[in-house]
Amino acid sequence: MAAAVFQGFGASTALSLSKSFDSKRVKLPFGRSLSERRASFVVVGSDGRVVLDSSRAQKLVTNAVATKGDSAAATSASKPGHELLLFEALQEGLEEEMERDPLVCVMGEDVGHYGGSYKVTKGLATKYGDLRVLDTPIAENSFTGMGIGAAMTGLRPIVEGMNMGFLLLAYNQISNNCGMLHYTSGGQFKIPIVIRGPGGVGRQLGAEHSQRLESYFQSIPGIQMVACSTPYNAKGLMKAAIRSDNPVILFEHVLLYNLKERIPDEEYVLSLEEAEMVRPGEHVTILTYSRMRYHVMQAAKTLVNKGYDPEVIDIRSLKPFDLYTIGNSVKKTHRVLIVEECMRTGGIGASLTAAINENFHDYLDAPIVCLSSQDVPTPYAGTLEEWTVVQPGQIVTAVEQLCK
DSSP code of 154? T
Q: Strand, helix or coil at 396?
A: helix
Closest by alpha carbon to 253, among 286, 222, 227, 279? Answer: 227
Catalytic status, residue 92: no
Distance between CA atoms of residues 235 and 267, nearest Å? 10
CA distance 210 to 207: 5
Can you tell me the distance from the alpha carbon of 133 to that of 130, in angstroms, rounded to the nearest whole number?
A: 5
Q: Are 339 and 312 in contact (CB under 8 A)?
A: no
Rounded to whole angstroms, how far apart are CA atoms 347 and 333? 24
Under 8 Å CB-to-CB from 254, ≥6 apart: which residues? Answer: 118, 198, 199, 200, 202, 205
Count the Cβ atoms, other than its own, within 10 Å of residue 283. 18
209 is catalytic: yes
Residue 321 sits at φ, ψ, to 5 deg, of -75, 145
| Adjacent-strand bridge partners of 224 | 248
Residue 361: helix, strand or coil by DSSP? helix
Which entry of 140, 252, 266, 274 is annotated as an active-site residue?
140
**Rg, Å, the chain Cα set:** 21
Identify the active-site residue in 182, 209, 253, 295.
209
* String of DSSP letters for 33-102: -HHHHHTSEEEE-TTS-EEEEGGGTTSEEPPPPP-TTS-TT--GGGSSSEEEEHHHHHHHHHHHHHHH-T
- Which pairing describes strands 310-314 and 194-199: parallel, antiparallel, or unpaired? unpaired
Task: Quote the distance between the C-alpha of residue 26 and its chain's center.
Answer: 27
Give the angle subtended at the CA of 392 by the CAs of 386 and 398, to the nearest 5°: 115
Q: Where on the phi/psi map is residue 48: left (φ > 0), alpha (ψ -120 to 50), or beta?
A: left
Q: Which amino acid, one-letter code, is at 288?
A: T
Residues with catalytic roles: 140, 209
